């Protein structure tokens, strides 16, 4: 064989062997990579290895195991009694009926719910569902007359609306027997584009019992502007109208006896009006009564004491004040500051303030919120009784005490309700007061 041809054949064979070895190694490497991608659990990743399905379930079952932040939020505070679920969106408002056995909620999903609280520790609660007209989102609620009538404030693109839902009570015991269950509430009156299309911030309702008042339910709607309207709960008639003239309102509240209306607004002063009643029991007028002057910054919230003779205010100046409004203001006697307490919040240098206040029906415990934090204070001393740092998974939108004790197992307790943007309503027991 020609030596040149032999060399050429050998060169081709050697090149083929080298190429085969190279491509064989390449395809083996690609096959390994493809296999590792399709079966990642076979990779020995030390960070992922401990999180096996059966171990995760087992760890959740242990009360003291290390869990995620979300699971830690679910751990119960000692005063956390129960959670009312079933809301489809942020819960924007709540209120108790006068007997404390019904709790109404307003939800951004367009539904009002009335829960029956036969036992605060119950595993489930029956509730009545009321769908608002399409396009409206409820922002506040207030009971009218009894646990079967409800006034709701709704916000839509065209402005604010008020609806009163009620049911006709059976007139005789025979009619009661014939009704297997109560009929659904119907709209008894409604008003649209109230407050000149501005949004409604709060609704405050109470039974007018002061002086010659006839015992009707009155409701105050506070707009985000500067006006407040007083309504007759049963008929929807406008009873009065006031203007705070303080740039923009924050909230308004009626005294428990229906004598006073007070508003917190953009300024540090709180304006108070008196609701004057005629001899026939109807509202005659709403007249300016007094101003509470003493805070150095805007008042964020206020509430009346059960006897309607004092007002508690919280301000951005970091203080809580208790005012005596049982004065002869007709003779220019000014309301007096009875007590001043610092707000016991540590916000790391940020402005110390409370978003909302609610006073227990015995007047001894003040509940207050800031963001997701809930606190209980002793009204007598101003001392902090307890704190729930993460009472909800989102900002608290509303708080209210039940006006009477509610059964919880074999005992009756004072109950506070809180709502939040986290779609939940929680029930809390009152903390113990220090021994005198």
CATH of domain 80-167+184-427: 2.130.10.10
The pLDDT, as a whole number, for residue 76 is 78
Structure-model confidence comparison of residues 51 and 144, the more confident one: 144
Which tens digits make up the pLDDT trace of 210-261? 999 999 999 999 999 999 999 999 999 999 999 999 999 999 999 999 999 9
The pLDDT, as a whole number, for residue 61 is 35
Looking at every residue in the chain, the average pLDDT score rounds to 85
Which tens digits make up the pLDDT trace of 12-45? 777 766 666 655 554 454 444 333 333 333 333 3
Indicate if the pLDDT at residue 375 is higher than 60. yes
pLDDT > 90 fraction of the chain, expressed in percent and rounded: 72
Q: What is the CA radius of gyration of the chain?
A: 32
Q: Mean pLDDT over residues 265-275, rounded?
A: 97
Beta-bridged to residue 286, according to DSSP, are: 275
| Residue 304: both structure tokens together | 């009346």
The pLDDT, as a whole number, for residue 436 is 75
Which position has the token pair 């609806």?
A: 163
Contacts of 173 by beta carbon, 8 Å cutoff, 6+ apart: none
pTM of the model: 0.81
Which tens digits make up the pLDDT trace of 293-341? 999 999 999 999 999 999 999 999 999 999 999 999 999 899 999 999 9
User: Among candidates 429, 423, 430, which has minimal Cα distance to 84?
Assistant: 423
Residues in the chain: 436
Domain boundaries of the chain, sorted by first residue: 80-167+184-427
Q: Are 233 and 205 in contact (CB under 8 A)?
A: yes
């Amino acid at each position: 064989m020609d030596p040149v041809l032999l060399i050429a054949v050998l060169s081709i064979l050697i090149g083929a062997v080298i190429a085969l070895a190279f491509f064989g190694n390449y395809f083996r490497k690609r096959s390994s990579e493809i296999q590792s991608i399709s079966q990642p659990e076979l990779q020995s990743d030390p960070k992922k290895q401990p999180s096996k399905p059966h171990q995760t379930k087992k760890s959740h079952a242990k009360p003291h195991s290390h869990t995620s932040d979300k699971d830690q939020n679910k751990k119960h505070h000692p005063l956390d009694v129960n959670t009312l679920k079933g809301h489809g969106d942020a819960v924007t408002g709540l209120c108790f009926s006068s007997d404390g056995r019904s709790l109404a909620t307003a939800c951004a999903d367009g539904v009002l719910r009335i829960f029956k609280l036969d036992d605060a520790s119950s595993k489930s609660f029956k509730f009545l569902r009321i769908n608002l007209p399409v396009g409206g989102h409820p922002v506040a609620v207030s009971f009218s007359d009894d646990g079967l009538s409800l006034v709701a404030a709704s916000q839509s693109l065209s402005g604010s609306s008020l609806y009163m839902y009620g049911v006709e009570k059976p007139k005789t015991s025979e009619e009661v027997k014939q009704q297997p269950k109560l009929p659904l509430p119907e709209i008894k009156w409604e008003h649209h584009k109230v407050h000149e299309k501005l949004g409604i911030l709060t609704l405050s309702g109470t039974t007018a019992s002061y002086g010659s008042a006839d015992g009707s339910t009155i409701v105050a709607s506070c707009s985000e502007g500067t006006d407040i309207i007083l309504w007759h709960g049963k008929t929807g008639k406008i009873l009065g109208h006031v203007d705070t003239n303080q740039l923009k309102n924050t909230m308004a509240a009626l005294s428990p006896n229906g004598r006073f209306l007070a508003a917190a607004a953009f300024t540090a002063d709180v304006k108070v009006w008196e609701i004057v009643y005629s001899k026939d029991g109807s509202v005659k007028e709403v007249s300016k009564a007094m101003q509470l002057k003493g805070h150095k910054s805007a008042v964020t919230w206020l509430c009346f004491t059960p006897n309607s003779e004092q007002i508690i205010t919280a301000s951005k100046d970091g203080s809580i004040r208790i005012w005596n409004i049982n004065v002869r203001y007709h003779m220019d006697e000014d309301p007096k500051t009875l007590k001043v307490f610092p707000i016991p919040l540590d916000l790391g240098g940020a402005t110390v303030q409370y978003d909302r206040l609610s006073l227990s029906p015995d007047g001894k415990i003040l509940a207050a919120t800031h963001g997701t934090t809930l606190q209980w204070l002793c009204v007598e001393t101003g001392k902090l009784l307890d704190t729930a740092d993460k009472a909800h998974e989102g900002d608290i939108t509303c708080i209210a005490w039940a006006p009477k004790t509610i059964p919880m197992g074999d005992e009756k307790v004072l109950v506070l309700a809180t709502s939040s943007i986290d779609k939940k309503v929680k029930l809390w027991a009152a903390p113990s007061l220090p021994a005198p």
